[in-house]
Chains A and B, each alone.
Chain A
Amino acid sequence: MSTVKANDLMKVDGSIPTVKGQQLIPTAWVNFNGTSTVAIRDSEGVSSISDGGTGRYTVNFTANLSNANYSAVVSNTVQSSFTNVSNNVTSLAVGSFIIQHRENGSVTDTERMLAVVMGGQA
């Protein structure tokens, strides 16, 4: 018998079970407000966002990843200019990575930043 029917799957302590071959399940994700005092709206696997200056944010993981070869994809809503918008993902480390957001070529704080992390698992 290789089919199990259940409505819920959980670890014996009630947390998320380990699913072998889980590289297709996001490792972490976060939705945060990058203007004024940075605030996380919702997240998974992310403990905090550090404000590193205008348009610059450090995403801190709840637990260190196993390696820094993970994939971090970032998106955003535009704050003031639809011209020359870019998100630079840099400084990938096991505990964090940095996002730098620009609009019209200048670093800019923006109201909604979104990031999904894949990989970096043991």
Chain B
Amino acid sequence: MSTIKANTLLHSDGSTTNPPAIPALDKRMVTAWVSWNGIGTVSIYSSENVSSITDAGVGLFTVNFATALANTNWVAVMSTQENNGSTHSSSNNRVIGPARVARNVNNCMVRAANPSDYSTRDNARNDVLIMGGRA
């Protein structure tokens, strides 16, 4: 019998927050994700395996991982929402991407900018997914 049928799978410690390991799927699952408000005092809406967001200047944020990643070959995909009340004009467009800094296993720096002149901007909502596996 190679099929297990169960409605709920728990870690052996009974925790509902500590997930059971499925090693063969580790690299297919998202390693970390976070959604945060980058305007004013940075605040996280929700996250997993992200301990904090550091405000590194206008449009610059460091995503700090709760558990270090397996290596620096991680993949980060990102999205953003314009500031509230935006008129959606060209000058208000925003993009977010990895900052040009050395990669490491403990954090990922991202840069939000106006694509028309590449000047950095803070955004109301920033979303980052990290793939690659934990250490």
Whole-angstrom distance between the alpha carbons of A22 and B2 in the complex? 22
Write the B24-54 contact mask toward A (1 if CB under 8 angstroms, else 0): 0000011111110000000001111100000
Whole-angstrom distance between the alpha carbons of A14 and B3 in the complex? 10
Q: From residue 43 to 99 of chain A, which have CB atoms closer than 8 A to chain B?
A: 67, 69-75, 83-90, 92
Contact B30 A102 (CB under 8 A): no
Whole-angstrom distance between the alpha carbons of A107 and B94 in the complex? 14
Whole-angstrom distance between the alpha carbons of A2 and B51 in the complex? 28
Q: From residue 34 to 92 of chain B, which have CB atoms closer than 8 A to chain A?
A: 34-35, 45-49, 77-82, 86, 88-90
- Asked if A18 CB lies within 8 Å of chain B CBs, one says yes
Count of residues in A whose CB is under 8 Å from the partner chain: 47
Count of residues in B whose CB is under 8 Å from the partner chain: 50
- Give the distance to chain B from A26, nearest Cβ to Cβ, in Å: 6
Q: Which of A14, A20, A26, A92 meets B30, CB within 8 Å?
A: A26
Q: Which residues in A have their C-beta under 8 angstroms from that of B12? A: 2
Q: Which residues in B have their C-beta under 8 angstroms from that of A100? A: 88
Q: Which of B2, B9, B29, B93 meets A20, CB within 8 Å?
A: B9
Contact B7 A18 (CB under 8 A): yes
Contact A21 B17 (CB under 8 A): yes
Q: Which residues in B have their C-beta under 8 angstroms from that of A118? A: 30, 33, 48, 129
Q: Which of A25, A26, A72 meets B79, CB within 8 Å?
A: A72
Q: Given A20-B15, A107-B88 in contact, is the A71-B127 Cβ separation under 8 Å?
A: yes
Contact B79 A20 (CB under 8 A): no
B-binding residues in A (CB < 8 A):
2, 4, 6-12, 14, 17-26, 67, 69-75, 83-90, 92, 100, 102, 104-107, 116, 118-120
